[in-house]
C-alpha cells in the first residue's frame, strides 16, 4: 500500500529521491513502477532486464558502463527463452493478485516465476533466477565462459529431462491463468440507444410542458393551479434523480470453472481467499431460531474449502435460546454438511430444501440417494422438534433467570447489562462431521452491554464482529447476511471471488453486492415486496457508473475497505478543488486526507512488524497513533496492518486470542476511536447500509453487482400490508436521518472528485425520496377538490397544449417499455412498483418525514406500534392479517375523498346538462388515477373476508367528512357579493 504523500521504492522501501533536474527517477516508462536508482542498477547487475510489474525490457536504461562481459553473457542466456508478453502478464498477476490472496500460476517460460514478494524486494524471484542460472551452468564450470554453445547444452538437457506429463500440466495451468474470471457485457446499442434518445426527448417535452403550465395560469382556481405546479416540478426533479443514474446499465458474467482452474490445482492446497460470514440476530422470539439455524447450516455447507470458511453469529440480545439452538445446530451440521456435498443438493438450507415442490430425483444418479434423503429428512424433523421445544420453553422466563447446564446463571439474563460472550462450536476445536472431515468454524458472539453506553444497534454489532473475526481468523473478505437470508446458491462465494480475486478487476472493489430475492410471496406481489424494479433496473444502472449501493445483506466486503483505507489506485491521486480559494471545508478535507496519507505511510513502514519483539511492537504501534484509530488492542491493530487480511499467526495461543476477542467487543472499546465514523459500519442512521457504502465510494472505491442465474441468497419478506409499511417507514426514516446529517450526499465530499456525479445523483435520490410524500399527498387530494368545487387545475386546452399532454404521456409509456426491454422486468412488476410508490408515499414516507424532523431537531422519538391479529392457517395466510397502525389512515382518507368526489362530480354533471360532461372527463380521470394506484391498499384493508378494523373506517370517514364540510362552508372559489348588491336585490324582490 503506497502512501499518498510520497513515492517509496517497492524493493528497499526508501523514498524516491529527485535528480538534479528535479524529477523522480523512472526505471520503466511504460508503467512507472516505483524503484529507486540504486535498486535499479542492482537489478541490472543481477541480470534482471525487465520491469518487475509490466515485464517491459529495460532497453537503453542500464546506465552502467562497468558491467563486464561475463555479466552480459549471462544476460544473453537469461533472455533466450523468455516471452515478454507472457512474463508481463505473469508479473502483473503476481503483483496485483498478491494483494488479493491470489495463487500465482507458473508459466512455461524458462524463468518459471511463481511469486513476486513485494515486502522483501522480490527476493524469492531473485532466488529462483539464481537457481535457474545455476542449472544452466551446472556442467560448464571450469570451461571457457565465452563458449556460448557449450553453455546452451546443459539447459537443453534440463528441459528435456522434464517429464511430458509435467510439461502438459504447466501448459494447462498457463492456459487457465490466461482465461478470464468475469466479463463485462454492456447493453446492446439496439436496446440502449433508443432508450437514451427517449429520455432526452422526454426531458425536452417536460421543459415545454412546464413552460405552457407556468404561462397559462387558471385564474378561477389559482391556489389549486399553484399547488399543482409546485407538485409537478418536484415530480420532474425526482424523475431526473431516478432516471439518469440508469444511463449506462451493464451485465456481468462470471466463469467459476476458470476460478477453480486457476486457484485449485489438483494435489496442491487451495489458493482461494478465506471468507468470514456474519449473521446478525437480536430477539429469538421475533426472529425464530429455526430460521437463523437454516441460514447457518446453508453457510456451513457452502461449496468452498472448509478451512477458508468461518461463520460468526452475533446474538445482540444475549439470549440463551439462541445459544442453545446453535449447540443443536452444530450437532446437526455434522450430518447435514456431508449429505449436501455428497449429493450436491440445492439449496443447502434444510427447511427450504425439503419444502420444495419439485422432482428431487432429477439429475440424481446414486441409488443410495433416496434412502439417505429419507433418513436425513427424519433427522431434520427430530432436530426441529428439539429446537421448537426450546422455543416453547423460552416463552416464559423464570423469575431467577435462565441457568446453564452446570448450574451457573446465564450471563445474558439482563440483555442490557451483561459481559461479552464468545463460544467456538466447530472448526479447529476438533469437531468433525460423521465422515471424519473437518467442518467450517462456527462462532457464537454476544458483545458486552452496559447502561450508559451507546451500542448503535445493528451497525455496532457488525463492527464488533469485524474486530472479533480479525483477531480469530482475519479473512480478507467478509460476507454479511441477515438471519433470515440463507445461501440459496452454494457457489455464491465463488461468484464473488471471480471479481474480488481478479487482479485486473478486484483491485479497487470494496464489495460485491448480490440482489435480494424472497420466498413466500404471492404470485401477484401485491405490495411490491420483491423490489424487482430496484434490483433489476436501478442497481444494474449503477453498476455501469461506480457500482451498486450496499443494501444491508448479501454483500461480500473487502476487509481493507471497511478499515477506511483508500483504494490502491487512488492513494496517489491529486486532490482537486472546484474553486481557486478553498473554503474551510476544503481545508479540513485536505487535513483529513493528510492524516490518511500518514496512516498509509505508517502501514507501509510497518510491513516488517514481525521483526520486532513484543515491547518494540507495542511502542511502535502507540507512536503511530493507531490506537486512536483502531482502539486499544495490539492484536487487532497488527491484524489490521496485514494487507488484505494475512490471517493469524499459527503460533498464536488460542486462549490468548479468545481473551483478546473478548476485549475488542467490550462496550467501551470504541470510545475516542474512528469506529462508526470512518471505520466499519457507519453510525448515524437506522439505514447504516446506505451510509456505509456511500462513505466507501466517496473514498474512490467501486462496487460490483453480481446476478447469477440461480439467486445467490433468498430471504423472507413481510407480506401483509401493515408490516410492509413499517419496513418502508424504517427505510425512509433512515434516509431522512442521512439528509439531516453531515453525510448528506448533497454536500459531503463534493470537492474530492472521487464520487462520480451520476452516482451522487443516485445517492441524493435515496435521501430525498421521502420528501416526495408531501407533494404526492397534495396532488392526490386535488382531484377530489376539483370534483367537489367544479374547478380544475388546467385551463381550456388548445391544440398545442393537447399535443404537449399527449407527447408527455407517450414519452412516459415509451420510456417504461424500453426500460422493460433491456432489463427483462415484466410489466406487472413495473405496475406494482408504481402502485406501491403512491401507497408508501402517502403513508410511510409521510410519517418518516415528520418523525425524522422530530427526532433529529427536537430529540423526540415517535414509534408507531403494530398490533397483530390471528392469521388464517393457509398458504399466504399472513397476507390477509389485519393489523392496526396509524400508517393506514392517510391512504384510506385519500381513497374515500376521491370516491366521494367522483360521486359528487357525476351528480353535478347530471344536473348541469351535456356541457358539463367534457370538463368532468379530465377530473374523473385524475381521480381514478389515484384510486387505481391505491387499489392494492384498499384490497389489503378489506382482507380475505372484507374485514376491516373499525377504527380505520371511523378515522377515515371522520377526516373525509370534516374536510368536505369545512370546504363547502368556506368555499374560497365562490365570488363574494358586497352588501350593496344584496340590498339592491332585496329591494327588487316583491314581498
C-alpha–C-alpha distance, residues 833 and 530, integer Å: 9
Local confidence band at 323 (pLDDT 50, 70, 90 cut-offs) = very high
pLDDT for residue 654: 74
Q: Is the pLDDT of residue 157 over 60?
A: no
Q: Are 660 and 470 contacting, i.e. CB atoms less than 8 angstroms apart?
A: no
DSSP 227: H
Q: Is the distance from CB of 734 to CB of 689 less than 8 angstroms?
A: no
Q: How far apart are CA 895 and CA 938, in angstroms?
A: 8
Are 224 and 794 within 8 A, CB to CB? no
DSSP 708-722: -SS-SEEEE---SHH
Query: What confidence score (pLDDT) does residue 15 get?
Result: 67
Determine the pLDDT at residue 162.
Answer: 52
123 is annotated as contributing to ligand binding: no
The pLDDT of residue 467: 93
Q: What is the pLDDT of residue 511?
A: 95
The rounded mean pLDDT for the chain is 76
Category of 637 on φ-ψ map: left (φ > 0), alpha (ψ -120 to 50) or beta: alpha
Bigger pLDDT: 496 vs 868: 496
Say if residue 580's pLDDT is above 90. Answer: no
458 annotated as belonging to a binding site for a ligand: yes
Cell readout for 343 is 449429493
Report the pLDDT value the prediction gives residue 974, as an integer from 0 to 100.
56
Confidence of residue 889 (pLDDT cuts 50, 70, 90): confident
DSSP-assigned states of every residue in 340-361: HHHHT-S---HHHHHT--S-TT
| pLDDT at residue 73 greater than cutoff 50 | no
Average pLDDT over residues 915-925: 75
pTM, entire model: 0.75
Considering just the CA atoms, what is the radius of gyration of the chain in Å? 34
* Nine cell digits for residue 220: 378561477
pLDDT of residue 758: 92
Is 406 annotated in a binding site? The answer is no
421-430 average pLDDT score:
78
Q: Are strands 275-281 and 477-482 parallel, antiparallel or unpaired?
A: parallel
Between 191 and 30, name the one with better pLDDT.
191
The answer to whether 701 and 484 have CB atoms below 8 angstroms apart is no
Question: How many helices (H) and strands (E) are present in the chain, helices listed first?
Answer: 35, 13
Number of C-beta neighbours around residue 359 at 10 A: 8
DSSP-assigned letter for residue 418: B
- What distance in Å separates the CA atoms of residue 942 and residue 351, rounded to the nearest whole number? 32
Helix (H) / strand (E) containing 94: helix 84-98
Q: What percent of the chain stands above pLDDT 90?
A: 33
Instruction: Look at residue 913 in the predicted model and tell me its pLDDT.
Output: 62
Q: What strand order describes the sheet that includes 309-315?
A: 421-426, 441-446, 309-315, 275-281, 477-482, 555-558, 509-513, 702-705
- Taking residues 205-212, what's their average pLDDT? 93
Rounded CA separation 524/832 (Å):
9
Give residues with Cβ within 8 angstroms of 971, minimum separation 6.
789
| pLDDT for residue 694 | 94
> CA-to-CA distance for 29 and 27, rounded, in angstroms?
7
Intra-chain end-to-end CA distance of the chain, in Å: 101
pLDDT attached to residue 69: 42
pLDDT (average), residues 184-207: 92
Q: Which residues are catalytic?
A: 316, 689
Q: Which of 149-153, 516-520, 725-729 has the lowest mean pLDDT?
A: 149-153
Confidence of residue 750 (pLDDT cuts 50, 70, 90): confident
So what's the pLDDT on residue 892? 87
316 carries a ligand binding annotation: yes
863 vs 366: CA distance, rounded Å: 56
678 marked as binding residue:
no
Higher pLDDT, 116 or 924: 924
Q: What is the dihedral of CA 380, 381, 382, 385, to 10 degrees?
A: 120
Does residue 610 contact residue 12 with C-beta atoms inside 8 Å?
A: no
pLDDT tens, position by position, 458-472: 999 999 999 999 999
The DSSP element (H or E) to which 775 belongs, if any, is helix 773-789
Contact call for residues 87 and 159 (beta carbons, < 8 A): no
What does the alpha-carbon distance between residue 266 and residue 176 come to, in Å, rounded to a whole number? 13
pLDDT digits (tens, 9 = 90+) for 857-888: 776 665 544 434 334 445 555 555 656 678 88
Domain ranges in the chain are 1-59, 272-395+402-484+552-567+676-682
pLDDT band of residue 624 (cuts 50, 70, 90) is: low
Pick 610 or 506 by higher pLDDT: 506
Whole-angstrom CA distances from 590 to 4, 581, 694, 762 are: 12, 13, 19, 25
pLDDT tens figures, 823-837:
889 999 999 999 999
Phi, psi of 445 (to 5 degrees): -135, 130
DSSP 753: -
Q: Is 280 annotated as a binding residue?
A: yes
pLDDT band, residue 405 (cuts 50/70/90): confident
Mean pLDDT of 283-292: 89
pLDDT single digits (tens) 835-852: 999 999 999 999 999 988
Residue 94: predicted pLDDT: 37
Rounded to 5 degrees, φ, ψ at 479 are -120, 120
The CATH number that domain 1-59 falls under is: 3.30.40.10
* Most confident region among 150-159, 170-179, 649-658, 866-875 by mean pLDDT: 649-658
Residue 480 makes CB contacts below 8 A (sequence gap 6+) with 277, 278, 279, 280, 462, 553, 555, 557
Strands 702-705 and 509-513: parallel
Residues for the chain: how many in total? 991
- Would you place residue 555 in the very low, low, confident or very high pLDDT band (cuts 50, 70, 90)? very high
Q: Give the C-alpha separation, 525 to 949, whole Å.
A: 23
Burial class (CB in 10 A: 0-12, 13-18, 19+), 361: exposed
Q: Please name which of 276, 705, 724 lies closest in space to residue 515, comparing C-alpha atoms.
A: 705
Q: 151 among the known binding-site residues?
A: no
Check: CB of residue 484 under 8 Å from CB of residue 520.
no
Q: What is the pLDDT of residue 696?
A: 93
In this predicted model, what pLDDT tens digit does every residue of 427-466 receive, in sequence order? 765 678 788 888 999 999 999 999 988 888 899 999 999 9
Instruction: Over range 498-505, report the average pLDDT.
Output: 89
- Say what the pLDDT of residue 640 is: 83
Other CB atoms within a 10 A radius of the CB of residue 264 amount to 16
| Between residues 218 and 169, the one the model is more confident about | 218
Q: Give the pLDDT of residue 89.
A: 37
As to burial, measured by CB atoms within 10 angstroms (0-12 exposed, 13-18 middle, 19+ buried), residue 544 is buried
**Cβ atoms of residues 50 and 75 within 8 Å:** no
For residue 269, the SS3 value is coil
Nearest C-alpha neighbor of 56 from the set 77, 81, 36, 29:
29
DSSP letters of 613-670?
-HHHHHHHHHHTTHHHHH-S-HHHHHHHHSTT-----TTS-HHHHHHHHHHHTSTTTT
Kindly state the DSSP code that residue 548 receives in the 8-state scheme: P
Amino acid at each position: 500500500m503506497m502512501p499518498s504523500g510520497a513515492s517509496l521504492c517497492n524493493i528497499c522501501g526508501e523514498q524516491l529521491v529527485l535528480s538534479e533536474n528535479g524529477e523522480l527517477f523512472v526505471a520503466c516508462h511504460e508503467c512507472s513502477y516505483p524503484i529507486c536508482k540504486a535498486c535499479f542498477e542492482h537489478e541490472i547487475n543481477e541480470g534482471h532486464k525487465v520491469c518487475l510489474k509490466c515485464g517491459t525490457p529495460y532497453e537503453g536504461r542500464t546506465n552502467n558502463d562497468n558491467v563486464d562481459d561475463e555479466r552480459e553473457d549471462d544476460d544473453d542466456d537469461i533472455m533466450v527463452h523468455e516471452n515478454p508478453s507472457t512474463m508481463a502478464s505473469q508479473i502483473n498477476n503476481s503483483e496485483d493478485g498478491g494483494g488479493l490472496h491470489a495463487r500465482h500460476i507458473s508459466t512455461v517460460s524458462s524463468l518459471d516465476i511463481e511469486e513476486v514478494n513485494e515486502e522483501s524486494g522480490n527476493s524469492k524471484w531473485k532466488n529462483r533466477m539464481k537457481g535457474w542460472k545455476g542449472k544452466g551452468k551446472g556442467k560448464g564450470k571450469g570451461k571457457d565462459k565465452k563458449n556460448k554453445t557449450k553453455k546452451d547444452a546443459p539447459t537443453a538437457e534440463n528441459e528435456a529431462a522434464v517429464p511430458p506429463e509435467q510439461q502438459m500440466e504447466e501448459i494447462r495451468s498457463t492456459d487457465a491463468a490466461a482465461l478470464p474470471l468475469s466479463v463485462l457485457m454492456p447493453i446492446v446499442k439496439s436496446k440502449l440507444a433508443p432508450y437514451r434518445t427517449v429520455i432526452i426527448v422526454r426531458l425536452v417535452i417536460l421543459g415545454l410542458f412546464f413552460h405552457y403550465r407556468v404561462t397559462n395560469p387558471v385564474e378561477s382556481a389559482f391556489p389549486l393551479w399553484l399547488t399543482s405546479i409546485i407538485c409537478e416540478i418536484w415530480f420532474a426533479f425526482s424523475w431526473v434523480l431516478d432516471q439518469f443514474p440508469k444511463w449506462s446499465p451493464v451485465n456481468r458474467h462470471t466463469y467459476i470453472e476458470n476460478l477453480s482452474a486457476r486457484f485449485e490445482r489438483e494435489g496442491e492446497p487451495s489458493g482461494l481467499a478465506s471468507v468470514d460470514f456474519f449473521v446478525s440476530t437480536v430477539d429469538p422470539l421475533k426472529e425464530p431460531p429455526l430460521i437463523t439455524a437454516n441460514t447457518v447450516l446453508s453457510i456451513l455447507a457452502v461449496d468452498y474449502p472448509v478451512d477458508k470458511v468461518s461463520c460468526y453469529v452475533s446474538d445482540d440480545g444475549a439470549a440463551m435460546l439462541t445459544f442453545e439452538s446453535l449447540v443443536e445446530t452444530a450437532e446437526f451440521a455434522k450430518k447435514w454438511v456431508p449429505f449436501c456435498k455428497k449429493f450436491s443438493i440445492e439449496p443447502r438450507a434444510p427447511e427450504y430444501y425439503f419444502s420444495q415442490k419439485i422432482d428431487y430425483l432429477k439429475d440424481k444418479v446414486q441409488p443410495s440417494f433416496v434412502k439417505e434423503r429419507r433418513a436425513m429428512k427424519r433427522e431434520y424433523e427430530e432436530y426441529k422438534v428439539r429446537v421448537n421445544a426450546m422455543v416453547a420453553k423460552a416463552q416464559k422466563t423464570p423469575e431467577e433467570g435462565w441457568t446453564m447446564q452446570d448450574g451457573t446463571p446465564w450471563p445474558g439474563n439482563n440483555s442490557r447489562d451483561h459481559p461479552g460472550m464468545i463460544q467456538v462450536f466447530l472448526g479447529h476445536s476438533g469437531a468433525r462431521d460423521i465422515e471424519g472431515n473437518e467442518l467450517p468454524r462456527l462462532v457464537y458472539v454476544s458483545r458486552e452491554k452496559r447502561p450508559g453506553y451507546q451500542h448503535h444497534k445493528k451497525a455496532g454489532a457488525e463492527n464488533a464482529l469485524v474486530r472479533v473475526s480479525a483477531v480469530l481468523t482475519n479473512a480478507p473478505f467478509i460476507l454479511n447476511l441477515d438471519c433470515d437470508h440463507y445461501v440459496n446458491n452454494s457457489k455464491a462465494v465463488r461468484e464473488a471471488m471471480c471479481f474480488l480475486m481478479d487482479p485486473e478487476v478486484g483491485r479497487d472493489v470494496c464489495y460485491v453486492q448480490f440482489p435480494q430475492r424472497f420466498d413466500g410471496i404471492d404470485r401477484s406481489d401485491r405490495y411490491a415486496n420483491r423490489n424487482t424494479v430496484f434490483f433489476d433496473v436501478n442497481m444494474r444502472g449503477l453498476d455501469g457508473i461506480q457500482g451498486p449501493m450496499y443494501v444491508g445483506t448479501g454483500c461480500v466486503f473487502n476487509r481493507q475497505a471497511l478499515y477506511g483505507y483508500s483504494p490502491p489506485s487512488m492513494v496517489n491521486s491529486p486532490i482537486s478543488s472546484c474553486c481557486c480559494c478553498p473554503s474551510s471545508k476544503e481545508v479540513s478535507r485536505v487535513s483529513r486526507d493528510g492524516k490518511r496519507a500518514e496512516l498509509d505511510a505508517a502501514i507501509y513502514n510497518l510491513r516488517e512488524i514481525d521483526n520486532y519483539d513484543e515491547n518494540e511492537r507495542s511502542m511502535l504501534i502507540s507512536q503511530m497513533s493507531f490506537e486512536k484509530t483502531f482502539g486499544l488492542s495490539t492484536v487487532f491493530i497488527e491484524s489490521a496492518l496485514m494487507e488484505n487480511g494475512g490471517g493469524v499467526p499459527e503460533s498464536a495461543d488460542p486462549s490468548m486470542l479468545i481473551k483478546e476477542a473478548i476485549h475488542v467487543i467490550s462496550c467501551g472499546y470504541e470510545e475516542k476511536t474512528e469506529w462508526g465514523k470512518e471505520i466499519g459500519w457507519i453510525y448515524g442512521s437506522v439505514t447504516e447500509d446506505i451510509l456505509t457504502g456511500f462513505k466507501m465510494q466517496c473514498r474512490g472505491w467501486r462496487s460490483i453487482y453480481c446476478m447469477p442465474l440461480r439467486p445467490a441468497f433468498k430471504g423472507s419478506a413481510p407480506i401483509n400490508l401493515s408490516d410492509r409499511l413499517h419496513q418502508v417507514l424504517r427505510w425512509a426514516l433512515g434516509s431522512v436521518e442521512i439528509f439531516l446529517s453531515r453525510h448528506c450526499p448533497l454536500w459531503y465530499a463534493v470537492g474530492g472528485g472521487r464520487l462520480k456525479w451520476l452516482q451522487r445523483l443516485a445517492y441524493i435520490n435515496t435521501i430525498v425520496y421521502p420528501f416526495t410524500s408531501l407533494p404526492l399527498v397534495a396532488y392526490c387530494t386535488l382531484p377530489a377538490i376539483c370534483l367537489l368545487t367544479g374547478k380544475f387545475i388546467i385551463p381550456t386546452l388548445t391544440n398545442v397544449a393537447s399535443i404537449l399532454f399527449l407527447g408527455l404521456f407517450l414519452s412516459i409509456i415509451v420510456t417504461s417499455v424500453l426500460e422493460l426491454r433491456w432489463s427483462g422486468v415484466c410489466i406487472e412488476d413495473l405496475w406494482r412498483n408504481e402502485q406501491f410508490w403512491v401507497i408508501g408515499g402517502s403513508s410511510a414516507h409521510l410519517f418518516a418525514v415528520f418523525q425524522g424532523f422530530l427526532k433529529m431537531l427536537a430529540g423526540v422519538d415517535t414509534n408507531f406500534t403494530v398490533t397483530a391479529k390471528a392469521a388464517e392457517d393457509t398458504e399466504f395466510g399472513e397476507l390477509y392479517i389485519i393489523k392496526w397502525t396509524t400508517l393506514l389512515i392517510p391512504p384510506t382518507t385519500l381513497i374515500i375523498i376521491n370516491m366521494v368526489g367522483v360521486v359528487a362530480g357525476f351528480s353535478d354533471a347530471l344536473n348541469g346538462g351535456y356541457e358539463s360532461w367534457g370538463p368532468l372527463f379530465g377530473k374523473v380521470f385524475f381521480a381514478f388515477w389515484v384510486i387505481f394506484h391505491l387499489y392494492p391498499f384498499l384490497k389489503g384493508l378489506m382482507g380475505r373476508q372484507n374485514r376491516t378494523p373499525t377504527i380505520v373506517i371511523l378515522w377515515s370517514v371522520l377526516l373525509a367528512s370534516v374536510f368536505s364540510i369545512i370546504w363547502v362552508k368556506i368555499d374560497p372559489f365562490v365570488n363574494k357579493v358586497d352588501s350593496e348588491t344584496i340590498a339592491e336585490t332585496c329591494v327588487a324582490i316583491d314581498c
